Amino acid sequence: MHAPSPMALLLIAIVVLVLFGRGKVSSLMGEVGKGITAFKKGVKEGAEDVDAAARGEAKEVEMKSSEDIDRARAEIAAERARLDADRARVAADGALRDVTPSDTTKS
């Protein structure tokens, strides 16, 4: 497939201008430019966030005292209890959803 000729591109541009008007096309191009700028800014911020996270993960966590260790253990125990409760709830929900009658009178 070949590229459109300059004459075809000019014809397309004229049709677009006639259909939408000069003001509409210029505002549309302005919005496209703003979108491209916002996209580039988002990509740059995302890369900075990834770099910051990589630097943060490289640092080791230091506990200052036994109180910090006890607090961390308590948080882990609370999280484990919450996960166990969620697991039990999911199992109970699964048992409730199974409404298939069991056929005990097979011949």
Report domain extents, the chain. Answer: 17-59, 63-96
Mean pLDDT confidence for 16-39: 87
Split at pLDDT 50, 70, 90, the class of 66 is confident
**Which position has the higher pLDDT, 75 or 67?**
75
Q: How many CB atoms lie within 10 A of CB 21?
A: 11
Query: What is the spatial distance between Cα 56 and Cα 66, in angstroms, rounded to a whole number?
Result: 23
CB 28 within 8 A of CB 20: yes
Structure confidence at residue 58 (pLDDT) = 47
Is the predicted pLDDT of residue 56 greater than 70, yes or no? no
Split at pLDDT 50, 70, 90, the class of 33 is very high
Q: What percent of the chain has pLDDT over 70?
A: 79
The reported pTM is 0.37
Phi, psi of 10 (to 5 degrees): -65, -40
For 62, half-sphere exposure in the C-beta direction (CA atoms, 13 angstrom radius) is 2
Split at pLDDT 50, 70, 90, the class of 20 is confident
Mean pLDDT confidence for 52-74: 72
**Residue 2, both tokens:** 């070949």
**Residue 27, both tokens:** 């505002």
pLDDT in tens, 83-103: 999 999 888 887 776 666 666
